[in-house]
Amino acid sequence: MTDQPDVITKGTYGSAVTVNISYGKDDAIQWLESLEAPFPLIFADIEWLERSPNALNVLIKKKIPVGLLGKEGLSYEENPSYLEKEIASYEKMFKKKPLWFRTIDEEFPSSLRNALFQHEINALGSSVFWSFPEKTPRLGKGAILSVPYHREQQIPFKQIDALRASQPLHTVEDVLFGVSLKTKKYPQ
């Protein structure tokens, strides 16, 4: 989506929720099963997906958009093969290359940005990060909210649902491209 290696952090229309998941068993699967469109973009850790084949099945069955959640940004400078292995694992699971990639710390060194650009994968950061126990964030125009669900830091799923119910939210693509359709009905 960019014409040079870059990180997308904000859109132009509405707001979107992204959820970074690297932990969870039955609770995560139940939450994924309960989701309704418009779905949040799920950034899934490959190791979590390998440990949770039922979560993978739900993501595929419901066609929930899934991006690749990577390690800390600097680890890709230390070992560039991490990215290749993660992309290969993602492709094996989903039968396609990821459209979106985010590091767990949202740090994107230039070598990582360049590698993602070569693979035609978009680096997506966020403009708002929700840390627990902060209040539910109010999202402005073009905001991309990052919600953590990790062993050491997690926003409860019922709070994510409350946020989704309290504000009009859109897909990441709608937020980035400003897709807004208005239709008029004419008499027959």
Domain membership flag for residue 186: no
Domain membership flag for residue 182: no
Domain membership flag for residue 188: no
Domain membership flag for residue 185: no
Verdict on whether the full-model pTM lies above 0.85? yes
- Backbone conformation region of residue 51, classed left if phi is above 0, alpha if psi is from -120 to 50, else beta: alpha
Round the CA-based radius of gyration of the chain to a whole number and report it: 17
- Tally of domains within the chain: 1
Pull the structure tokens for residue 81. Answer: 């093969």
Domain membership flag for residue 183: no
Domain membership flag for residue 1: no
What distance in Å separates the CA atoms of residue 39 and residue 48, rounded to the nearest whole number?
A: 20
From first to last of the 188 residues of the chain, give the pLDDT tens digit. Answer: 566 788 888 888 888 899 999 998 889 999 999 999 889 999 999 999 999 999 999 999 999 999 999 999 999 999 999 999 999 999 999 999 999 999 999 999 999 999 999 999 999 999 888 876 667 777 888 889 999 999 888 888 888 898 888 888 888 988 888 755 444 444 54
Residue-wise over 6-21: b if at least 16 C-beta within 10 A, else e? ebbbbbeebbbbbbbb
What CATH number corresponds to the domain at position 167?
3.20.20.370
Which residues, other chains included, contact 134 with Cβ-Cβ below 8 Å and sequence gap of 6+? none
Domain around 107: 7-177
